[in-house]
């Protein structure tokens, strides 16, 4: 079953009287349990597609079905939909509040959704991402870049989502830490039966992580890659986009 179906998505931004179309026409589907990746040069519209699917960019045109439910432009994500779709951003430095203890950063989404046993849930989330439970008592600047990204992943997992939108989750990290985080994401996906939409510039990351991928250019999907394409032919993918 397709958990994400997008048909002819268009997104335009209005800036000082000028209309800039970031996504011209994008269509794809992602089946349950798959990792589907978007590749493409800077500015081609990848993050914009993810922001639409996370409910952060509410102005768009086209057809989108998320988890079997049709969503509409301007729709605010509430209830189960808001829990089921979570996003991890590229930069763990700016995605965590610098003046909040990790305990607060992780506790807030649980409180907002009326969850109980918050301390136990925070401990469980930290354990899942391979961090000691005393990480809850630190501020972001007291953690390494890799640890911060683990916190961002823990936060995304707290509400037990079905879909994770991963926007270059490792590109701010050095190579060895990158591999650890990618392996962690693959393990969590298996354990929790999640579905991933991943954006990356790195063809090795795409090949390691994805069942299928699509190459975007100027707001369009210009090419799709099957698992076999990805396995046999890393040379099909531009090395560093
Ligand atoms: N809020 C916004 N207002 C105006 N223009 C925007 C906005 N968000 C994105 N854009 C523009 O839309 C285009 C696509 O941006 P997007 O962030 O989706 O690209 P991207 O493929 O994620 O690039 P990168 O690889 O650099 O992250 C760019 O030209 C960008 O400047
Ligand atoms: Mg981007």
**What's the domain range around 68?**
2-236
- Domain harbouring 25, CATH code: 3.40.50.300
CA 55 to chain centre: 12
- Does residue 217 lie within any of the structural domains? yes
User: Distance, CA 48 to ligand 1 centroid (Å)?
Assistant: 6
User: Distance, CA 124 to ligand 2 centroid (Å)?
Assistant: 30
* pLDDT tens-digit series, residues 48-58: 999 999 999 99
User: Distance, CA 22 to ligand 1 centroid (Å)?
Assistant: 6
Position 240 scores a pLDDT of 42
- Does residue 121 lie within any of the structural domains? yes
- Does residue 153 lie within any of the structural domains? yes
Give the list of residues 6+ apart from residue 48 with CB closer than 8 angstroms, or none: 11, 22, 23, 57
Q: Bin 42: left if φ > 0, else alpha if -120 < ψ < 50, else beta.
A: beta
Instruction: Tell me whether strands 163-167 and 85-88 are parallel, antiparallel or unpaired.
Output: parallel
Domain count, the chain: 1
- Which residue, judged by its Cα, is nearest atom 17 of ligand 1? 47
Position 95 scores a pLDDT of 84
- Which residue, judged by its Cα, is nearest atom 12 of ligand 1? 22
Q: Is the CB of 46 under 6 A from ligand 1?
A: yes
* CA dist., res. 161 & res. 140, Å (int): 24
Q: Is the CB of 51 under 6 A from ligand 1?
A: no
- Which residue, judged by its Cα, is nearest atom 7 of ligand 1? 13
- Does residue 160 lie within any of the structural domains? yes
| 201-205, Cβ contacts within 8 angstroms, sequence gap of 24 or more | 201/39, 201/168, 201/171, 201/240, 201/241, 202/171, 202/240, 203/39, 203/234, 203/237, 203/238, 203/239, 203/240, 203/241, 204/234, 205/170, 205/178
CA 94 to chain centre: 15
Position 233 scores a pLDDT of 57
Position 15 scores a pLDDT of 86
The answer to whether 195 and 162 are in contact (CB under 8 A) is yes
What is the arrangement of strands in the sheet containing 212-217, beginning at the earlier edge strand? 69-71, 61-66, 2-15, 18-31, 220-225, 212-217, 35-40, 195-199, 163-167, 85-88
- Does residue 120 lie within any of the structural domains? yes
Q: Nearest ligand, CA of residue 44?
A: 1
* CA dist., res. 40 & res. 66, Å (int): 23
- Does residue 172 lie within any of the structural domains? yes
Q: Is the CB of 240 under 6 A from ligand 1?
A: no
Residues of the chain with pLDDT under 70: 233-241
Q: Nearest ligand, CA of residue 51?
A: 1
User: Distance, CA 179 to ligand 2 centroid (Å)?
Assistant: 20
The preferred substitution site among 10, 13, 214, 220 for testing ligand 1, maximizing ligand atoms within 8 Å of CB, is 13
Q: Is the CB of 45 under 6 A from ligand 1?
A: yes
Position 172 scores a pLDDT of 84
The answer to whether 49 and 26 are in contact (CB under 8 A) is yes
**3-state SS, residue 171:** coil
The answer to whether 58 and 127 are in contact (CB under 8 A) is no
* CA dist., res. 7 & res. 204, Å (int): 28
- Does residue 241 lie within any of the structural domains? no
Position 229 scores a pLDDT of 87
- Which residue, judged by its Cα, is nearest atom 20 of ligand 1? 43
């Amino acid at each position: 079953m397709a958990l994400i179906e997008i048909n002819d998505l268009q997104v335009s931004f209005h800036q000082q009287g000028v209309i800039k179309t970031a996504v011209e026409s994008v269509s794809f589907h992602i089946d349950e349990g798959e990792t589907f990746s978007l590749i493409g040069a800077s500015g081609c519209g990848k993050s914009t597609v993810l922001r639409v699917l996370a409910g952060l960019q509410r102005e768009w045109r086209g057809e989108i079905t998320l988890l079997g439910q049709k969503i509409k432009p301007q729709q605010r994500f509430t209830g189960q939909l808001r829990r089921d779709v979570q996003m991890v951003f590229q930069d763990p430095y700016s995605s965590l509040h610098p003046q909040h203890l990790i305990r607060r950063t992780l506790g807030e989404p649980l409180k907002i959704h009326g969850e109980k046993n918050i301390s136990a849930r925070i401990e469980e989330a930290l354990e899942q991402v391979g961090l000691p439970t005393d990480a809850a008592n630190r501020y972001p600047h007291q953690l390494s870049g890799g640890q911060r990204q683990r916190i961002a992943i823990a936060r995304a997992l707290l509400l037990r989502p079905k879909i994770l939108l991963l926007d270059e989750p490792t590109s701010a990290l050095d190579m060895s830490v990158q591999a650890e985080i990618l392996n962690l994401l693959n393990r969590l996906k298996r354990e929790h039966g999640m579905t991933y939409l991943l954006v990356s510039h790195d063809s090795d990351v795409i090949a390691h992580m994805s069942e299928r991928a699509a190459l975007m250019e100027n707001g369009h999907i210009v090419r799709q890659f099957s698992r076999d394409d990805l396995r046999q032919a890393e040379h099909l993918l531009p090395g560093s986009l």
